[in-house]
Amino acid sequence: MDQNQSQTPKLVRTAHLKEFKQAGRKFSCLTSYDHMTAGIFDEAGIDVLLVGDSAADNSLGYTSTLPVTVDEMISFGRAVASAAKRALVVIDMPFGSYETGPADALANAIKLMKTSGVAAVKLEGGERSEIQIKAIVDAGIPVMGHIGFTPQSVNALGGFRVQGRGEGAEQLLADAKAVEAAGAFAVVLEMVPAEIAAQVTAELSIPTIGIGAGPDTDGQILVWTDFAGLTSQKPRKFVKRYANIRETLFESAKQYSKDVNEGKFPTQDHSFEN
Ligand code: KIV
Three-class SS state of 69: coil
Which ligand 1 atom sits closest to the C-alpha of 55? 1
Which of 151, 142, 156, 158 lies closest to 190 in space, CA to CA? 151
- For residue 102, whether the previous peptide bond is cis, meaning omega lies within 30 degrees of 0, is no
Centre of ligand 1 to C-alpha 1, Å, is: 31
> What is the pLDDT at residue 4?
55
Which ligand 1 atom sits closest to the C-alpha of 29? 7
| DSSP notation for 170-190 | HHHHHHHHHHHHTT-SEEEEE
| Banded pLDDT at 233 (limits 50, 70, 90) | confident
Residue 127 a catalytic site member: no
| 109-126 confidence digits (pLDDT tens) | 999 999 999 999 999 999
Kindly state the helix (H) or strand (E) to which residue 57 belongs, with its residue range.
helix 55-58
Ligand 1 binding pocket includes 210 (Cβ within 6 Å): no
Which ligand 1 atom sits closest to the C-alpha of 65? 1
| Banded pLDDT at 6 (limits 50, 70, 90) | low
> What is the pLDDT at residue 131?
98
| Banded pLDDT at 8 (limits 50, 70, 90) | confident
The residue from 190, 195, 262, 273 that is catalytic is: 190
Q: Is the pTM of this model over 0.75?
A: yes
> What is the pLDDT at residue 3?
55
